[in-house]
Structure 1
């Protein structure tokens, strides 16, 4: 299933990448997907979502927090970076959208007129369309589809002075959990994808590779 989201508001490249991710996650949730493997060519977005966020930009903070907010709807959510040269299918759709060229047949289109998140910097934002709507000339069978759920890496927001890995090491080695009632179950869930090998922390992908 291929989707295109056309943004009708000023946005930089990173915002466009996050909007793509958020819309894709929402579609997955509506499709009822419980385990999601997201592959994208933005190293920045992947690192911010899957590792310890180290971002001082108001917009980017709002975006990765929105992704973290939705991850609880999944049994498994993982983001993996791939080189742009291996992301040709998405690149073709992006070029068609940016160039305002006709969208290829069989592709669902959504026009979004405001950001998916709110951030104080611009005073604008809100919830964009939760999922792209099929065009009139396409089958409406998938319009009732529901979106997948993802599973992630460290999405807990740790103390900036503490390495995010410390939380996982404490749990795996000493069964120690954060005192926060929200973060504790989240850490427990995410820790299932981590393993200790000779005292070092590794993340295990869905293929079993460390």
Structure 2
């Protein structure tokens, strides 16, 4: 359980409201595990500090380090084109992207439009061979791919065996940015966002008091405005 106040002076009142809710539902706390007056810390995989609540980078490192599916598709397309040029008929492909492998093998569906176009190009190329096997191999176990990547990135002009290295100068699919035109109309969230993000307040004194009063019930999570409650989950404001 976490009780966070936007203003230090309001923290006792927020704690009082929290304790009232706990008493109402007969919830008890272990004093040995309680901490008060903490300015920042880790909580349920998030970093909580004076700027708001952010995702703990250590918790999402594995996701951030995952290879982009488009990059893997580009590599797969380049490999198939090269195999076709060399006259290969039976091709085995090892990829460290499980998502791409499962989509190519029709286990997963490519719902995103760009991925669907990449998948269609791969399947069309595969029809030009007698047999194509695509399997998932973790990068740590794919020693052949690691060796080729080191050769491609090295400065050695020659090797004992001929290895063809292809540099992709452009993407296989031209990306067209989607444009959405909307009218910039004033939103009830604008004063709260300005105050919580930059501590900017309206010029009118009455509006200043109103914004500060309302801001106690809201918080920022990754730059997005959420309405908070001690007994209910956060509600995203739209």
Larger radius of gyration: 2
- Asked which structure has the greater RCO (Cα within 8 Å, sep 6+), the reply is 1
More helix by share: 2
What's the TM-score, normalizing by structure 2? Answer: 0.40
TM-score (norm 1): 0.45
